[in-house]
Amino acid sequence: MVNRPRLELTERQKKVLQAVEDFILKHGCAPTIRRLAGILNIQSPSAVFKHISSIEKKGYLRKDGGEIKLTGACSLEPHVQVPLVGLVPAGDPREVFDNREEAVDVPEWMLGRKKGNVFCVLVEGKSMVDAYIDDGDRVLLERTHTAHSGEMVVAFLDDGSITLKRLKIDNGNIFLVPENPEFKPIQVSELKIIGRVIGVLRKY
């Protein structure tokens, strides 16, 4: 089979595709047509549907039922390799950081100026499902030792275990808060942050 070159996108189609990619980066899933119309400030969802259909014909994405899915190498920018350093629990903290010494391809637009300072982890557990991070997802993190209250981080706890949670600082008290009511917040006296969450990669 001969690979045919994809047709060039119009400027409007580029904006639509970029909005889809941005939404997937933030939420781990694609937006609905109606949600996408709101993001793009387009009053008619049918107009957005026509743009999506045109982009699909050009090979940058596909529709699976009512769901939008990106095709391989769909990004408008080059890809870069980011190290996949291993498993991180999003559940009960675990004592080890399972180093895999692998790499994943990530669209360069996801990294921006952080390129070269980003790594990826594979999530194990469901304590962050309400933040659109599920078991088996790959999460992109910016290497940093500091974070603001409200940001999601991967951190070592007082006992040396590691976990992925949302940081909350309240009156000097430090909490690592899950995004799943089945799990309880963890209060710590000392916290070593490894990285701050900047995106989610998910295979369907």
Give catalytic status of residue 75 as yes or no: no
Phi, psi of 111 (to 5 degrees): -95, -35
Query: What mean pLDDT is reported for the chain?
Result: 81
pTM higher than the cut 0.85: no
- pLDDT confidence tier of residue 195, bands split at 50, 70 and 90: very high
Residue-wise DSSP of the chain: -PPPPPPPPPHHHHHHHHHHHHHHHHHSSPPPHHHHHHHHT-S-HHHHHHHHHHHHHTTSEEEETTEEEEPTT--SS-EEEEEEEEEEESSS-BS--EEEEEEEEEEHHHHGGGTTSEEEEEEESSTTGGGT--TT-EEEEEE-S---TT-EEEEE-TTS-EEEEEEEEETTEEEEE-SSTTS--EEESS-EEEEEEEEEE---
Give catalytic status of residue 127 as yes or no: yes
Catalytic member of 26, 114, 165, 168: 165
Q: What is the mean pLDDT of residues 99-108?
A: 71
Domains and their CATH numbers in the chain: 11-70 (1.10.10.10), 79-201 (2.10.109.10)
Q: What is the mean pLDDT of residues 171-192?
A: 91
**pLDDT tens-digit map of 157-169:** 877 788 999 999 9
Check if the beta carbon of residue 193 is closer than 8 Å to that of residue 149: no
Catalytic member of 127, 168, 184, 192: 127
Query: Largest alpha-carbon pair distance within the chain?
Result: 63
Q: What is the mean pLDDT of residues 9-21?
A: 86
